[in-house]
Amino acid sequence: MTSSKLLSRFQWAKSPLIINAPMAGSATPRLATEVSKAGGLGLLGSIWDLGADASQLSKLDADLGEARTLLGDDLPASSQIQIGAGFITGHPSMATFADTALPVVAKHRPAAIWLFAPDGDLKPHPAIIKALKSLDPAPTVFVQVGNVAAAREAVNDGADVVVAQGVDAGGHQFRQGTGIVALVPEVRNMLEDEFPGKDVGLVAAGGIVDGRGVAAALALGADAVVMGTRFTVAFESTYSEHGKETVLKTVDGGVSTLKSPFNDQINKIDLWGPLYDGRAVIGPIHEKFLAGASLEECQKSLKEDYSEEEGRKITRTWAGAGVGLVKKAQAAGDIVREVQKETMATIQRLAGLA
């Protein structure tokens, strides 16, 4: 799939297509709709608990309804909403997707659905994608991956778009992988060699925060890009104020952040399977761990030396290695427009070198 073909799925979008990551707890209906209004593709924060009485499912219903309202009265009730929604698919309740989540998707008609992080022993994506494809109109299905084998599996499962996430990304990702400089071209080659008859889009994610990164990703073979860390400081983001302040002041992201299972283990978070870990800004508890303290010692210190709120602040500021390039808080729509403008300027500058 070319960039223009991917854009054709989202009639309101402009080139280059900028997508905000489906950041749980941060990507609000207002953020997602402002991204789409500016010519990008906005995504709501991912959910994972699809139990019959799950509050997350009720919130998704409400958020999609709010998004339709925010997009304006001129949006026909029968048309797709110009945003997408995400699901973290490692939770056991994903087996109930067709019964619990699909009716919500069918009711609101989001333009895109994003899937990520099935557990190693669970393979829910084929059934979920089949259910989504039964809808009319069917949403475009994005599947986030971290290596070539997972990208191949995603295509076989029926994904319309593969999101190749490099290890520079903030938040959760594959434990083993590489940056987009190696990953995106190899996934592109795999798609062209093994699936020549399929129109599968390729999106790059991980460490991209400005137009230079977008231009580089496009040169590597991506049709569009995802940014997470840049959007955490959007005015419409509900990332914590402490988190926003930390993102804006952090520099030298490669050494100021830590990609490790420790980021979940310290808080005893068990949502993520053994294939995944996360990248967060280093705080004093991380420093203890890196200096040789055991996980148990760090957990004891977190409990005894910090309040619950302080502990959350110093251990859960998710950010990518590009965090040092994020210098200002902005409206989400302004981020999209600025990055698109930077991208075109970068491409024009490079064309002048020929």
Angstrom distances, CA of residue 189 to CA of 152, 166, 182, 195: 11, 16, 11, 10
Q: Is 172 a catalytic residue?
A: yes
Please state, in angstroms and rounded to a whole number, the distance separating the CA atoms of residues 127 and 113. 14
Angstrom distances, CA of residue 223 to CA of 55, 56, 183, 200, 277: 35, 31, 14, 10, 26
Q: Are 257 and 323 in contact (CB under 8 A)?
A: yes
Structure tokens at 25: 């707890």
Strand partners, 212: none
Annotated catalytic residue within 91, 108, 125, 172: 172
Angle, CA 91 vertex, CA 144 and CA 209 arms, to 5°? 30
Coil, helix or strand at residue 173: strand
Coil, helix or strand at residue 57: helix
Looking up tokens 């024009």, which residue turns up? 348
Q: Are 94 and 50 in contact (CB under 8 A)?
A: yes
Where on the phi/psi map is residue 145: left (φ > 0), alpha (ψ -120 to 50), or beta? beta
Please state, in angstroms and rounded to a whole number, the distance separating the CA atoms of residues 294 and 128. 40
Please state, in angstroms and rounded to a whole number, the distance separating the CA atoms of residues 71 and 67. 6
Q: Helix axis angle, 180-194 relative to 211-220, nearest 10°?
A: 30
Neighbours of 322 (CB within 10 A): 23
Residue 99 CB burial class (10 angstroms; 0-12, 13-18, ≥19): exposed
| Catalytic residue list | 172
